[in-house]
Chains A and B, each alone.
Chain A
Amino acid sequence: MNRTVDIVGVGWSGFGSITPDLSYKEMIFQAATRAYADAGIDPRNDAQGFVTAAEDYHEGTSIFDEYTPDQLGAVLRPMHTITGDGLHALAAAYMNIASGLMNVVVVEAHSKASNILTLDHITAFAEDPTFERPLAINPVALAGLEMQRGLDAGRYTVEQCAQVVVKNKNNALANPAAAYAAAIGKKPVLEAQPLATPLTRLMAASHADGAIVFVLADSDTAKRFKGKPVRVRGIGWANDTPALDSREWLDAKYARKAAEMAYRVAQIRHPRGEIDFAEVDDTFAYKELQHLEALQLTEPGQAGALTEQGATERAGALPVNPSGGGLGVGSLLDANGLARALEVVLQLRGEAGARQLHKANTGLAFAWRGLPTTSGAAVVLSN
């Protein structure tokens, strides 16, 4: 029988548009020190395993997984790296514990985006070398094409996408860790410079630096620690095809499949009634709407209207991205999923400060790995 798994400690460093003072290792060390203090553990004696999510090209270091143990206190311990989102790493840690292999596992993901000088080239390098890359188009084109597809299908309007930006950047005003909070209205979002029409610059999350560390434990061991445990009720992940030619361009099927798995594990049958709030990927504003529908939190084509009505605001019926999301906090590359989950943990613990939700018993975090991928991961957490 599977053991239940809890998040017993969280820590973070950042988030900022630049971090000229700290190396990525020092950011991780800072986040880890906070997470270990939060859980009340000594990583050298209490943690049996460590998992990082990172991508070599983002790090500027080959075989980057060799560079992950020291700053976490993981030298001479079982440690591995997942080349995916932080929620994929969380899933690996969950499995280590649920299977009984380990009792306490540390998860880490980070972004030092400000050190990457050619990120668009790196993203384009992730496209198919024979049929896609020779066009030499900035990969933000994929977001423009997908957003236009959704507009033509009547899934949302440009104004509704702008309202997502307004909501998330305003939500971020109450989040001291957010790098891109702004008291902003729809007009500047709609009139911002176009990136790839109909997408404007303010409809795309800007990058931030930061590191996030979670400590997970089986529920029996968790009782020995001082932290307020948050239960990992379900976790899931899925990919659509990598090919631009045969992928689904309207619905986020990867999100639907990832959530179906997480809901099945969590025994959630009616997500709309059982999920109190959600932190979902909003790397591009339309993605929040597309993801909400795929996650079965709204009816198809209704996420935009609900956003305009205020239903996804902090005081609404289904608060979405109370942290500010990627648009308000900043895009943290491979750490985006842990940033979403971090907010869910803080809300469930009642420690979200000025942005604390009234009803926060069960929350969903969903991550998309970003362009040009169709890779998603979801986790359901409860207090």
Chain B
Amino acid sequence: MSLLNNLEHPTDARIWRGDLPVYHRYTAGVAGEKFLRALKDQGAVYGTRCPTCGYVYVPARLYCERDATHLDDSTWAPVGPAGALVSFSAVWVDLDGKRLDAPQWVGLVRLKGASSVLMHYLQTPTGALHAGMTVQAVLKPANERVGSITDIAYFKPL
């Protein structure tokens, strides 16, 4: 091997710790701002339909990633609040990697009228979940909404 003076005792192996406070602001953008305001003020979920390819983006976007078309105000339309469950998972670890006492349920939901899916919380199911079943967005009360994707509290199976 290339090293001639290897450590031979675990107690000789030391570490240094380092950390960094990382705080950012993220601009929601023209489309993001409009989408989040509609969610907060109207309790409505909006998508944008690309006039070139017909794909409906939820959350709404300013441009189509498939053909680089600008998605102007005329392309905005509400979607949902019901949709089809595309996939689901019970997540047993938190962001620190610690095991949870009860799983956090998440799903991919294709809202009615959307081409894309939305990842969000699922209400803890009382029965079996299956792909294709209808679920509906449950919004937080208007006075608790802040203009965040979490203004949707969760999706519940119908």
* CB of B114 to closest CB in A, whole Å: 8
Q: Which residues of B contact A196 (CB under 8 A)?
A: 89-93
Chain B residues positioned under 8 Å from A20 (CB to CB): 10, 13, 15
A144 touches B89 (CB 8 A): yes
- A124 surroundings in chain B (CB, below 8 A): 95
Q: Is the CB of B88 within 8 A of A148?
A: yes
A129 touches B24 (CB 8 A): yes
Report the separation of the CA atoms of residues A159 and B53 in the bound assembly, to the nearest whole angstrom: 39
Let me know if B97 is at the binding interface, CB within 8 A.
yes
Q: How far is the CA of A8 from the CA of B90 in the complex (A)?
A: 47
- Cα A9 to Cα B128 in complex, Å, equals 54
Q: Which residues of B contact A129 (CB under 8 A)?
A: 24, 26
Residue of A nearest to B13 (CB): A20
From A30, A131, A145, give the contact of B59 (CB < 8 A): A131
* Residues on B with beta carbons closer than 8 Å to the beta carbon of A132: 119, 149
Whether the Cβ atoms of B106 and A137 lie closer than 8 Å is: yes
What is the size category of the interface that chain B forms with chain A?
A: 35 or more
B residues 32-91 near A (Cβ < 8 Å) are 32, 36, 55, 57-59, 65, 86-91
Q: Which of A60, A115, A121, A149 has most B Cβ within 10 Å?
A: A149
Whether B87 lies near A145 (C-beta < 8 A) is: yes
Contacts of B130 in A (CB 8 A): 152
Contacts of A135 in B (CB 8 A): 106, 119-121, 149-150
Q: Which residues of A contact B96 (CB under 8 A)?
A: 118, 120-121
Q: Once bound together, how far apart are the Cα atoms of A195 and B58, in whole Å? A: 28
Query: Which chain A residues lie closer than 8 Å to B150 at the CB level?
Result: 134-135
Residues B95 and A197 in contact, CB atoms below 8 Å apart: no
Binding-face segment, A238-246, A294-302, A303-311, A334-342? A238-246
Q: Give bound CA distance, A199 to B92, whole Å.
A: 10
Q: Which of B130-148 contact A (CB under 8 A)?
A: 130-131, 148
Assess whether A65 is interfacial by the CB under 8 Å rule: no
Query: Quick check: B91 and A136 within 8 Å, CB to CB?
Result: no
- Let me know if B158 is at the binding interface, CB within 8 A: no
B2 touches A29 (CB 8 A): yes
Docked Cα-Cα span, A132 to B45, in Å, equals 15
Q: Are B89 and A145 in contact (CB under 8 A)?
A: yes
Does residue A141 face the partner (Cβ distance < 8 Å to B)? Answer: yes
Instruction: Flag if A245 contacts B87 (CB, 8 Å).
Output: no
CB distance from B138 to the nearest CB of A (A): 15
Is A30's CB under 8 angstroms from B131's CB?
Answer: no
Q: Is there an interface contact between A138 and B149, defined as CB atoms closer than 8 Å?
A: no
Q: How far is the CA of A26 from the CA of B13 in the complex (A)?
A: 13
A33 interface hit (Cβ, 8 Å): yes
> How many angstroms from the CA of A118 to the CA of B19 in the assembled complex?
11
With A121-B95, A131-B59, A245-B118 in contact, is A26–B89 under 8 Å at CB? no
B116 to chain A, nearest CB (A): 4
Q: Which of B55, B93, B120 has the most C-beta atoms of chain A within 10 angstroms of its own C-beta? A: B93
Taking CB as reference atom, which chain A residue is nearest B32?
A130
Contact yes or no, A141 B26, CB < 8 A: no
A155 to B69, CA, bound (A): 34
Chain A proximity of B87: nearest CB distance (Å) = 4
How close is A154's CB to chain B, nearest CB, in angstroms? 11
Q: Is B30 an interface residue (CB 8 A)?
A: no
Q: Tell whether A267 is near chain B: CB-to-CB under 8 Å.
A: no
CB-CB nearest in chain B for A242: B65
B21 is an interface residue with CB less than 8 A from chain A? no
CA distance A379 to B49 in the complex (A): 38
Which residue, of B26, B57, B92, B130, has the highest number of chain A Cβ atoms within 10 A? B92
Which residues of chain A are within 8 angstroms of B86 by Cβ–Cβ distance? 149, 249
A136 to B95, CA, bound (A): 7
A98 close to B (CB within 8 Å): no
Q: Which residues of B contact A244 (CB under 8 A)?
A: 117, 119
Interface contact B92-A194, CB-CB below 8 Å:
yes
**Is B102's CB within 8 Å of the partner chain A?**
no
A140 at the interface (CB under 8 A from B): yes
Q: How far is the CA of A132 from the CA of B108 in the complex (A)?
A: 12
Known: A131-B149, A196-B92. 5 other contacts (CB 8 A): A30-B3, A141-B104, A195-B91, A199-B89, A249-B87
B interface list, Cβ under 8 A from A: 1-3, 6-7, 10, 13, 15, 18, 24, 26, 28-29, 32, 36, 55, 57-59, 65, 86-97, 99, 103-104, 106-108, 115-121, 130-131, 148-150
Could you list 15 examples of A-B contacts with CB < 8 Å? Answer: A20-B13, A29-B2, A130-B28, A130-B149, A138-B91, A148-B87, A148-B89, A149-B87, A149-B108, A193-B99, A197-B103, A244-B117, A245-B57, A245-B118, A249-B86
Lowest 8 A-B CB distances belong to which pairs? A144-B89, A33-B2, A20-B13, A245-B116, A152-B131, A129-B26, A149-B87, A21-B7
